[in-house]
Amino acid sequence: MNIEGLKLFQEVAARGSISKVAENSHYSQPAISQQIKRLEEAIGYDLLTRSNKGVELTEAGAVVNKYAASIVRSYENMLEDIAVLENNYNIIRINCTPIISTYALPCTVYSINNNPGASAPAPLKLETYANHSAEIESNIVNDTYDLGIIICEPKIKTLNAELISTDALVPVASPKYKLEEELTAEKLASAALILPSERFRVMEKVVEWFAAAGLKMDQLNVSTRMDEIESIKSTVIKGYGVSFLPYLTIKKELYTKQLKKLEVKDYNLRYEIFMIYKPERLNDLNFRDFVKMFKRSAQKTFC
């Protein structure tokens, strides 16, 4: 299989247009079409349907697109690992949730890179990538990444999981958003709720809390679901509704009073942050030392 053709197929699938991909690459439209045609011939199925409006994935194309990122990432990892043989350093690939990647991990990576006392037996090269928890677990199982940082306990129980931190899940609104003083689950359920998408595993905690109060998801006034924490914050700050957000993502906004914490009866939600990896990885002494070092550093620098 041609990896470059697979990469181009990924881009075309994401943009829904061969011409748009051509505009932002060194390939012409005919060259991209030819690469995808060769990929289709190798797999034995049509992957795209073409029209004047662009392209859409066929059923087979959707299957290939599902696995394409992992295949491309594994290929790139292989090339990097071959380069390691000549450069005498260890690559550690960390796959973490968007929340951790954006708001917590940078401090930990800085601490590791700038703490001489925490050096590993060989020089380290850390690479970090963001996915949601379910995808991360799958990536660790498939050896696409070395270490995963996820929200809540892993669903795949064969993975080693170590607790490295906990954080509060805070109900927030803009100071100008009008709410009753004494809030309950029932009153919150009727507010305009601006929630993270279900891909954010922290939402399971919110759903469980409402369920304990006798409220199902279809009874909540969910006005919007978003896949970006910054978009949710911006929307809530403008006074358009209420959300539940990890404390580590809103510390600044609470301090500057752009957001206010809501006092809600019988509410005290926290979530756990776990480091996950395959048990057999501990047979690698360098990886074992890194795991210990990362856990120590994360417990000091997360949140």
pLDDT band at 137 (very low <50, low <70, confident <90, very high): very high
Specify the pLDDT at position 130. 92
Give CA separation, 19 vs 46, 49, 131, in Å: 19, 14, 28
Alpha-carbon distance 213 to 207, whole Å? 10
Residue 166 has pLDDT above 90, yes or no: yes
Number of domains in the chain: 3
Range of the domain at 194: 166-271
**Which residues are CB-neighbours of 133 under 8 A, at least 6 positions away?**
97, 150, 151, 152, 154, 201
**26 has a pLDDT exceeding 90:** no
CB-CB contact of 112 with 118 (8 Å): yes
List of residues 6+ apart from 31 with CB closer than 8 A: none
The reported pLDDT for the residue numbered 20 is: 86
Residue 158 lies in a domain: no
189 and 259, same domain (yes or no): yes
Strands, E assignment, the chain: 48-51, 54-57, 90-96, 124-130, 147-151, 160-173, 193-196, 222-226, 242-246, 260-261, 270-277
pTM above 0.85, yes or no: no
Mean pLDDT in residue range 156-177: 95
pLDDT category, 119, cuts 50, 70, 90?
very low
pLDDT given at position 86: 61
Confidence of residue 281 (pLDDT cuts 50, 70, 90): very high
Distance CA 5, CA 35 (A): 5
| Beta partners for residue 276, in sequence order | 148, 161
Does 246 score more than 70 pLDDT?
A: yes
Q: Average pLDDT for residues 167-178, to the nearest whole number?
A: 94
Classify 55 as helix, strand or coil: strand
Q: Look at residue 128 and tell me if it is in a domain.
A: yes
Asked if residue 165 lies in contact with residue 303, where contact means CB atoms within 8 angstroms, the answer is yes
Cβ-Cβ contacts under 8 Å for 117 (sequence gap 6 or more): none
| Element (DSSP H or E) covering residue 85 | helix 59-87
Structure confidence at residue 116 (pLDDT): 47
Closest CA to 177 of 245, 255, 260, 244: 260
Residue 157 lies in a domain: no
Asked if the structure places residue 210 within a domain, the reply is yes
* Higher-pLDDT residue of 117, 219: 219
Looking at 26, 46, 68, which one is the last position of a domain? 68
Mean of all residue pLDDT scores within the chain: 88
Distance between CA 211 and CA 22 in Å, rounded? 49
- For residue 87, name the pLDDT band (cuts at 50, 70, 90): low
185 belongs to a structural domain: yes
83 pLDDT more than 70: no
In a domain, 233, yes or no: yes
For the ranges 105-109, 127-131, 157-161, the one whose mean pLDDT is highest:
157-161
The string of DSSP codes covering 121-166 is: SS-EEEEEEE--HHHHHHHHHTTS-SEEEEESS-S-TTSEEEEEEE
121 assigned to some structural domain: yes
Question: Does residue 286 sit in the same domain as residue 148?
Answer: yes
Residue 289 falls inside a structural domain: yes
- Residue 200, amino acid: F
- The DSSP-derived string for 16-41 is T-HHHHHHTSS--HHHHHHHHHHHHH
Question: CA-CA distances (angstroms) from residue 296 to 80, 104, 214, 258?
Answer: 27, 14, 40, 33
Decide which of 115 and 257 is more confident.
257
118 pLDDT exceeds 70?
no
Note the pLDDT of residue 300.
83
The reply to whether 120 and 73 lie within a common domain is: yes
Contacts of residue 189, Cβ cutoff 8 Å, sequence gap at least 6: 210, 215, 219, 220, 221
User: Which among 113, 62, 264 is positioned nearest to 183, based on CA atoms?
Assistant: 264
Lowest model confidence (mean pLDDT) among 34-38, 186-190, 221-225, 256-260? 34-38
